[in-house]
Copies of this chain bind each other. A is one copy, B any other.
Amino acid sequence: MKEQRNGLLLVISGPSGVGKGTLVKALMERNQRIKMSVSATTRAPRPGEIEGVHYFFKTEEEFKAMVDRGEFLEYIHVFGSKYYDGYDVILEIDVQGAMKVKQAFPDAVLMFITAPSMSEIKSRLIGRGTETMEQVEKRFATAFEEIKMIPQYDYVIINDVVDVAVHHMEAILEAERCRTSRSNYLSESIEDTGR
């Protein structure tokens, strides 16, 4: 029986500050088959983050120009199509980008990562202590807009305890590999019986 099959294209979104990076890092450490796609972002690099390894760091103007020139979708196709080689590919991307990926790759698996509650998101934003209350309010409003998109995602992961959240993500990968829509079992069975 052939075991050759596509990998999974995993799309991850969620409000800033809910720990997406931590979860993705832990997931990849425990699963060597997963490749991280390098995504473009308009935020500033954090300490230790390298251009082209963690993200392509773009200014808002550069990013907008990329999208206008259609480079963003091209980029999704280049990175997204890696999963045809049997690798699982993770794409960390905002809600608008996630919807575009879903259109381009209908069998992508969309996970929304969030904190246990909106109050918790606010506390985490305030807890950072790096932003003014006005900035906190703005980020909180954005988080709320993002959360309204949850029904467009396949799964929601509530990042309360990191290990539990990573376990959920691993379970989702394992379950998705058992989906009948990804299975060759029926066609191989027909071959096997010679019918």
Does B151 contact A117, Cβ atoms closer than 8 Å? no
| A176-189 Cβ-contact flags toward B at 8 Å (1 or 0) | 10111101011011
- Report B-chain residues with C-beta under 8 Å of the C-beta of A171: 170-172, 174-175, 178
Does B168 contact A178, Cβ atoms closer than 8 Å? yes
Asked if A61 is an interface residue, CB under 8 A from chain B, the answer is: no
Does B195 contact A183, Cβ atoms closer than 8 Å? no
In this complex, which of A114, A155, A167, A195 has the most chain B Cβ atoms within 10 angstroms of its Cβ? A155
Does A151 contact B193, Cβ atoms closer than 8 Å? no
Asked if A21 is an interface residue, CB under 8 A from chain B, the answer is: no
| Interface of chain A, main secondary structure | helix
Asked if A83 is an interface residue, CB under 8 A from chain B, the answer is: no
Q: Which of B1, B144, B181 contacts A117 (CB 8 A)?
A: B1
Copies in the complex: 2
Distance (Å) between the CB of A167 and the closest chain B CB?
A: 7
Asked if A163 is an interface residue, CB under 8 A from chain B, the answer is: no
Can you name the residue of chain B whose Cβ is closest to the Cβ of A1?
Answer: B117
With contacts A150-B185, A167-B174, A180-B112 known, is A193 near B118, CB below 8 A? yes
Distance (Å) between the CB of A188 and the closest chain B CB?
A: 7
Distance (Å) between the CB of A150 and the closest chain B CB?
A: 5
Can you name the residue of chain B whose Cβ is closest to the Cβ of A179?
Answer: B155
Asked if A158 is an interface residue, CB under 8 A from chain B, the answer is: yes
Does B180 contact A117, Cβ atoms closer than 8 Å? no
Q: Shortest 8 CB-CB distances between A and B: which pairs?
A: A175-B175, A171-B174, A118-B192, A171-B171, A172-B175, A155-B178, A171-B175, A118-B189
- Jot down 16 A-B pairs with beta carbons below 8 A, ordered by A: A112-B180, A114-B185, A117-B189, A117-B192, A144-B193, A144-B195, A151-B180, A151-B181, A153-B180, A155-B180, A167-B174, A168-B174, A168-B175, A168-B178, A171-B171, A175-B176
